[in-house]
Amino acid sequence: MEQILINLVAGALGGNAAGKASPTFDLGTLGNTIAGLVGGGVLGQIITMAWPAVAASLQSGNFDVGSILTQVVGGGAGGAILTAIVGAIKNRSAA
């Protein structure tokens, strides 16, 4: 459960960072947050499945800094990537 929360929070932060860093991709604060939550949750879970060792250490209760950093990076990247994709699609359709 903790890994999902980390992914969602990191995704929301990554989505807002991507939106604010590039006005082309900005969906507004709420849009950036929602896209970031979804992207962080999805990509964070994919990363967890791709690296069974990380998932095993999280499930066993042996939380180490490396595992948490992997979740934060995965969630943040997922949030930023999805926000950028949605922002680019939104701007193309508006033009």
Question: What sign for the dihedral angle of Cα 34, 35, 41, 44?
Answer: negative
Percent share of the chain, pLDDT over 70: 84
Residue 53's pLDDT band, with cuts at 50, 70 and 90, is low
Supply the angle between the helices 28-50 and 65-94 in degrees, to the nearest 10.
Answer: 130
Residue 57 has pLDDT above 70, yes or no: no
User: 0.75 cut: is pTM over it?
Assistant: no
Question: Out of 11-15, 34-38, 62-66, 71-75, which region has the weakest mean confidence (pLDDT)?
Answer: 62-66
What pLDDT, on a 0 to 100 scale, did the predictor assign at position 30? 92
